[in-house]
Structure 1
Amino acid sequence: MKRLAFAGLFLGTALLLTACPNESPPPPPPSTSCTPTPTGLSVQSLGSQQQTPQGLGDFSAPHVPGELLVLPGGLTPQGLAARVEGVRPLSALEGGFLRVGVPKGQERAKAEALLRAGARFVQPNYLYFPLYVPNDPLYPASPADPARLQPYLVLIHMQAAWDLVRVASYGCTPIVAVLDTAFNPAHEDAGLFLSGYNATDDGLGASNLDPSPPPPNSAYANSDPDHGQGVAGLVAAAADNGKGVPGLGLGRVAVLPVKVFYWVNGGYTTTSTTLAKAIRYAADRGAALINLSLGSATPLDGVVQDALNYALSKGSLPVAAAGNNGTDGLMYPAAYPGVLAVGSARLDGARSDFSNYSSTPKDLVLAPGGNRTPAQAFYVLALGQDYSYYESSRPYTTGAGTSFAAPMVSTVAALYVAHYHAVYGRTPTVGQVKQCLIQTASNGGSYNAQTGYGLLRADRVLSDRTYCFP
C-alpha cells in the first residue's frame, strides 16, 4: 500500500484577541494644496493602452435598474429617443456620454436596440460598493496579531471578489469535497458542511468523521487531526456571524467532508485504495471541486490516477497541494495530468520558502499559505471538541502550508462555477475552470518555474470577459 502524508504544515498557537485603541482625529490639511501637473495624455495619445469603447457593455455586473449610459456616435438625445421606443433622455455626462432611462428589466434589450439605431457604445449604469469586510473577529488585520486572515486574502483580491458574490443571485450551490483527516460539522463556526463520509477502515462507521483512534502505544502529533477541519473551514466557515474566521465561499459554497486518514501500519496516513474510493465517492456526489491537501512522492499510482480520470470525466476538478519540501517537482496527486496544482505564497506575494515548484510546466497557481522564515501563519478552524484519545478543545488554531493554499483555490473555483451558472444557465467544464484560473492569475498566462502561472486573482476569476465569461 502506498502511503500519502499531509502536504501542509500545521502549527498550533494560542488565540490572541486584541481591542483596537482609540485614535485621535487626523490633523487639518495644510493651507495650500498641490495642483496636479497635467500630463497632456488623451485617449488618442495613449494609443493601444486605451481605446474609445464600442459595442455593448457587461450586463452581468451589478447595475442601476432602468438606466443606460450611451455614447451616441453623432446622434442627438432626441434622435435616440425617436429611434428606440421606451428610451428617455435623462442627462448629459462629461466625456460625451448620455444617461437615458429605459423600462426596468429591459436594459440589455434596449441597449442592443440603441446599437442598431446607430449608437457607438451602450453600457449599464454600474454599481460600486465599499469593499466588504466580514465581522468575524479573527479576520481583520491587526498589528498586534499577525495571524489575522485579511492580509493574506488581500493578496488574491478576495474582498473585491466578495463584492461581486454578495450582489449576485446564484441558482446553484457548488460542492467542494475535502478529502482529509477529520471533521466536526457541529463546530461553532461551521457553515455549509454537508453530511460526510468515512472512507477509511477505522471501524467507526461510514458516517463517523471523528479522528481515527490510534493503536496502542501510538499518539497524534502536531495537531494532525485538526488539519481537515482547518482546510474545510477555509471553504465554508460561517461568515458575518461574529465568530472566528469567514470561509472564502461566503455561504455560497458547500463542503462535503470525506475522511481518508487513519492509522495504517503504525502511522497516521491513507492508502491508494482509500483515496481512490474517496475520489470516486466525491465525483458521484456531484462535487465540482475535489480538494486534496495531501501528497506522496510516489509517481505512478494507477489506482489513484484512474480515480482522478473518473472524477474528471464526471466534471469534478481535482485541486491538489504542491507539497512542502521547497524543491523542484510537485508531489502527487498534484503532478498528475488534469489536476490543478496549488503552491503557496507568502505575504509579499513571492513563493513560500517551503512550497514545491516545477521547472516543467504544470497547471500550477499560487495562493496564500504563509512561510517558514520569517514565520507566517494564519487562523483556521480546529476540531474544537475533545475525544477520549485526542484533545482539541480549542475552536481555532493557526496553519501554514500548501495544504491551506489549495482550499482557497478550490473555493474561488467553486464561486466561478456558481457565477458562470448564473450567467449562462449551465456549469463550466473542468477545462474552462482551469483556463479561467490560470489565464487570470498574476503572471498573465505566462509560466514561471518558481510561481507557475502566478497568484490567484479572485476578482478577475469572477469578472474576466476573455477567459472566464467570453
Structure 2
Amino acid sequence: MSFTRTLRAVGGVAVAGALLFTAAPTASADYIRDGQWALDAFNPQKVWKESTGKNVTVAVIDSGVNGDHVDLKGNVLPGKNFTNEGGTADHESGDSHGTAMAGVIAGHGHGSNHADGIMGLAPDAKILPIKVNEIGPGSDLDGPIRYAVDHGAKVINMSIAGSGLNDLEKSAISYALKKDVLLVAGSGNDGSSKQLYPAAAPGVLAVGAVAKDGQVLAESNYGPHIRLIAPGEKIYSTGTTPQYRQGTGTSDATAYVSAAAALVRSKFPNLTAGQVANRLTKTAITPDGKTGIKSPDPKYGYGVIRPYRALSENIPAGPKNGPLTMPKDSEPSAGAGANAPGENPSASSGDEKSGLSPLMIAGIGLGVIVVLGIVIAVIVASKKRRNGPPPGGPGYGGPGGGGAVPAQQQFGTYPQSGGPGAYPPAPPTQPPGR
C-alpha cells in the first residue's frame, strides 16, 4: 500500500485561549515543555498517579525513531527497518516523523526532575520502532504489523494513511486482532469525508484531530469510522535534526490515543483491546461539553480522550470488542484473547448476534421440562380428586404435603441490542467545517 504520514509540520507557537483545554501549564524554564499545551490539558500529574504505561510496548510503524534522543533514550527498543536499508529502526537521523510520534507517546524529558524537553503521556512505555517506506512499492503494512505483534506490542500506532489495503495487509490486521493487539490509526489530513486506511479498516481505532479551541481541525478527515479525537494542533515533540519539531495533523492525535491506550493496558492488563477502547470512548467528552453521547459523531467520534477518567472511573469491561467493528475473519486463536465458551467471537458490541448459546438452549430445554411436569401434575391431581387418593396415604409429601413445583424458572437476562455497552451505528456523514 502506498501511504503518506498524517502529520503536517508547521511553525509558530500554540494559540492562546482554550474552550476545551483549560489546564494551567506547568512551571518550567524550558520553552519546549511550556509549549506542550496538550499534555498539560490532560493533567499529567494526576494521570501518572494512576499509570505511566509501564510494562506496555507500543509499536510505532513510521519513519524510524531516533532512540538516542535525550528525551527518549532507554525507552526505544531496536525494532526493525523494513525499507531497503535493513537493520534496526532505532537510529533514525533523517525523517523526524516517527521520532515525534515516539516522543508524544513515551518521551521522558531530561534535566533535573525531567523538567525539560518532551514528556510523553505514557513516559514508562517502551517504543518498538518499525521503519517503512513513505510512498511507493514495498511500503505495505503486512510485515510490519506482524512483526509488531510477534515482538510484544500491545498497541500499534499507525500515523499513516493510504487509499486502500491489499489482502495481505487485511490479513495482518486480523492477525493482530486475534492476538488481542489494539491498532490505532490517523484518519488523514484531507479535511474531507474520504476514508483512508488503515484507519477505516474494520478492527482499527480511527482517530481525528482537535485544535486547542476545542474544534475539530479543518484538515482532519471524518466519517462513520471515527471513534476518538485528540489534540493535533501545534504539538511539540522530539525530532532528529533539529532536535525538536512542531506539527499539526491527525498523526499527533493518533499518538496521544496510543499513549492513552498504553496507560489503560498497563493498569488493566486483563482487559481486551476492545475493552481498552471501551474505556477510552466511554470517558471521552465532546468538544461542546456534552457527555454520554450514544452514537459516534462522524467528526468527533465519541469525543476527546480523557486519560485520567479512563484510568480512574468505574467502567464495566463491556463486550470483548468494545466499540470496534470487527472483520469477519478476526476470531481469536486459543490463548490470544479468546472468547469464553459459547461467546460469539466475531460480534462487536454494536452488532451482537441474537443466536442462542448452548447455555440458553439448555435453559429453555429445562423450562420445557418444568412446564411439562406442571401439566402432568395438574392432570394427575385432577384424577386424584375424582378417584380419591391412592392407597397408603393422602398424597405425595404426607399429610398436608403439597410438594409445590415452581410455576416459573428464571434463566437470567442477556444483553439486548442497544443496551448498556452497545454502540449504535454512526449518524450520517456531515459536511466539513470547524
**TM-score surpassing 0.5?**
yes
For residue 206 of structure 1, report the CA deviation from its aligned partner: 2.0
Contact 2:81 2:89 in 1 (8 A): no
| Partners of 1:248 and 1:271 in 2: CA distance | 34
Query: How high is the TM-score relative to the length of structure 2?
Result: 0.64
Partner of 1:230: 100
For residue 466 of structure 1, report the CA deviation from its aligned partner: 2.2
1:288-327 aligned at under 5 Å gives the runs: 288-298=154-164, 300-327=165-192
1:3-42 aligned at under 5 Å gives the runs: 3-11=2-10
SS of structure 2 residue aligned to 1:244: strand
2:249 to 379, 398, 401: 401
2:132 to 260, 266, 270: 260
* Aligned-pair identity (%): 31
Partner of 1:162: 48
For residue 343 of structure 1, report the CA deviation from its aligned partner: 0.5
2:199 to 331, 334, 338: 334
| Partners of 1:307 and 1:270 in 2: CA distance | 19
Contact 1:438 1:445 in 2 (8 A): no
Contact 2:145 2:176 in 1 (8 A): yes
1:367-406 aligned at under 5 Å gives the runs: 367-370=230-233, 377-383=234-240, 392=241, 394-406=242-254
Q: 1:453/1:399 Cα in 2 relative to 1: closer, same or farther (>3 Å)? A: same
Q: 1:208/1:160 Cα in 2 relative to 1: closer, same or farther (>3 Å)? A: closer
**Any gaps of 5 or more consecutive residues in structure 2?**
15-22, 287-291, 319-420, 422-434
1:207 to 88, 94, 103: 88
Contact 1:365 1:451 in 2 (8 A): yes
Partner of 1:455: 304
| Partners of 1:174 and 1:288 in 2: CA distance | 6
Contact 1:282 1:290 in 2 (8 A): yes
Q: 1:134/1:8 Cα in 2 relative to 1: closer, same or farther (>3 Å)? A: same
For residue 242 of structure 1, report the CA deviation from its aligned partner: 3.5
Say which one has the larger Rg.
2
For residue 461 of structure 1, report the CA deviation from its aligned partner: 0.8
| Partners of 2:307 and 2:231 in 1: CA distance | 12
| Partners of 1:136 and 1:341 in 2: CA distance | 36
1:364 to 211, 215, 227: 227
Partner of 1:275: 141
Partner of 1:189: 71
Q: 1:463/1:242 Cα in 2 relative to 1: closer, same or farther (>3 Å)? A: closer
Residues 374-429 of structure 1: per-residue CA shift (max 9 Å, x gap): xxx1211111xxxxxxxx2x2111111101110111011111011113xxxxx311
Count of residue pairs the alignment pairs up: 302
Contact 1:441 1:457 in 2 (8 A): yes
Tell me how large the CA RMSD over aligned residues is.
Answer: 2.8
Higher share in strand: 1
SS of structure 2 residue aligned to 1:245: strand
**Any gaps of 5 or more consecutive residues in structure 1?**
17-129, 142-147, 213-223, 262-267, 371-376, 384-391, 422-426
Contact 1:248 1:411 in 2 (8 A): yes
Contact 2:208 2:226 in 1 (8 A): no
2:38 to 152, 157, 174: 152
Query: How high is the TM-score relative to the length of structure 1?
Result: 0.59
| Partners of 1:7 and 1:293 in 2: CA distance | 6
2:314 maps to 1:465:
yes
